[in-house]
A and B are shown apart, each in its own frame.
Chain A
């Protein structure tokens, strides 16, 4: 289904969706971040890139898995699955939506993670095509994405100046549009032509690229023991920003948080974990298979461009550019990949 929505009607549509939890980018100081919206009038979609991706709505940084407490009969354990109230996330960039599809693969397969899937199934993603690119370091075109990619989205919106062009891609998307039916108009042929033009121009505006990324997984296979990683990681300060900001990273740690020891009361909590932290692979014997920054940088590149490719036939990177923009010492994944491709030649 294709529709046109006047920009001024956007808050009216959001009000029709009052039965949903609505998330949209909101400005905090100079940064944009996804927030739960109470006031539909406050939604503005003229942002470039959110600091954290919408992954944190479906896969929160801190999630309680179960609660336990002791009583006269022993220890009572209570599972705390997330509620299934339907949610809508507005303003999802195509790279962040593709990242959610990649994370879906990890949380399914032999074991369907109930915490992840409860939120995922009840969340609709309304995307916003990138005109102009959100970041100077965007490179989605190199990793099989695009500024108007529809992967993972229920609706794709394109900004036409004073109105949005909406393309519904799933049943969920259709239902959302039906909820505000009188607010939408049918698109004219000229509108569709404008959209095609905008999409074509947006691809030209992506300045950065990794040429011949296809060669890299095979090239990496021979580079595990190479001293290349020592050189590249010299300035890494092992801070963890690249991993926490990445929309595709999904490693987690499970801890028991004890609120009181007697009577016993506590929670089992799942937190995001970070392979760039020195203690990520620390064994309880004290041995650490990745004791230095070289091995951890190698792990990051290998996981994204070799292991994930072998396992799921996709790069575990959607080219959002956050790691490049926010690295405190300007370690640039695009440059590293270029060097990998040309290594030894």
Chain B
């Protein structure tokens, strides 16, 4: 079991020794179940840090902000940033390293193992507790979660309230880290794409009806894009404004900027947005599940990206986030790549 004290001490140590600029971790939010991202700059503040099943977020996303901030500064602090990561988050870090978006020296990774459980799904938990207010959740000794509500303690087997992606977990401890807390326990995962079976068994027309019903709900808030660590483009294809515009950009250049999508949430535009995002994440999405968690309209976005993850594995034998030295999925090819669909 991961001891929170070890986590706090490690963070205090690296801050006191000046090894990192600041550390990103999780802290308690007094007004809700899920934590807040914590930016610890001084060793004393490290006592705020927590580690429990509510630590759902993928904090890798904040490395993108850090890089942007550094780019704007004249004499940036070159020390690394400390980051508390889970197994799934570490695969996001691997993808960023693979794409040379960040250097290994820019980050100091404090890995935490989920061991045999994982993180909680807020909605599943609320359903189980039928409205009781949750004050705290802790990891139990026997692969269960101890939920402390306003009415006392409840113990629930983790598998009943785990986040969907945890049920198909491929990496319950970080693949890369500078320090690893917790056990590197073996995790059984016989069918990593089980959740797709239901949709894949539908006919094409039924699948169309399913996706149309879901994507028509989309209000194009772009939360899915904003929370994804892999969506780090300064200039997204969906935004019709060109961020690389400077004072020297001519009017003609600006007029030639192609508008791929309309801004309005019409059904066809929503489809193109989500499909473009899915294809840009092919071989890069590591299923941290954040896109689905943040969607205010509960659109099952994981299924869109997961399907391409499955194709990457089955057609090309590619697993995203497994090796920082491997090239990206679409930047390499094999002679044996399937071409039965090509005439």
Contacts and interface: CB of A to CB of B under 8 A. Distances in A.
Direct contact of A and B (CB under 8 A): yes
Contacts of B39: 234-235
A318 interface: no
Given A237-B61, A330-B32, A282 B296 contact: no
Interface stretch (A66-74, A96-104, A219-227, A271-279): A271-279
Contacts of B223: 237, 239-241, 328
Which of B37, B61, B247, B298: most chain A Cβ within 10 A? B37
A330 B35 contact: yes
Contacts of B130: none
A62 B263 CA distance: 9
B37 A329 contact: yes
A295 interface: no
Which of A237, A245, A271, A324: most chain B Cβ within 10 A? A237
A98 B151 CA distance: 35
B226 A51 contact: no
B249 A244 contact: no
Interface in B20-55: 29, 31-32, 34-37, 39
Contacts of A284: 245, 254
Which of B61, B249, B296, B298: most chain A Cβ within 10 A? B296
B274 interface: no
A159 interface: no
A63 to B, nearest CB: 9
A279 B246 CA distance: 14
B202 to A, nearest CB: 17
B254 A52 contact: no
Contact of A31 (B37, B262, B297): B297
Contacts of A324: 31-32
A240 B221 contact: yes
A326 interface: yes
A194 interface: no
A9 to B, nearest CB: 29
Interface string B203-223: 000000000000001010111
A239 B222 contact: yes
Contact of B247 (A51, A136, A234, A285): A285
Main SS at interface, chain B = loop
A330 B264 contact: no
Contacts of A31: 297-298
Interface residues of A, number: 44
Interface residues on B, range: 35 or more
Contacts of A257: 262, 264
A206 B118 CA distance: 34
B93 to A, nearest CB: 17
B130 to A, nearest CB: 13
B298 A29 contact: yes
A28 B222 CA distance: 21
Interface of B: 29, 31-32, 34-37, 39, 57, 61-62, 123, 133, 217, 219, 221-223, 225-227, 239, 241, 243, 245-247, 249, 254, 262-266, 290, 293-294, 296-298
10 contacts: A33-B297, A136-B133, A239-B294, A240-B221, A241-B296, A244-B221, A255-B262, A282-B241, A332-B29, A332-B32
Interface of A: 28-31, 33, 51-52, 61-62, 136-137, 208, 234-235, 237-241, 244-245, 253, 255, 257, 269, 271-272, 274, 277-279, 282, 284-286, 324-326, 328-330, 332, 334-335
Given A269-B264, A329-B57, 5 more contacts: A61-B219, A62-B265, A244-B221, A279-B243, A332-B31
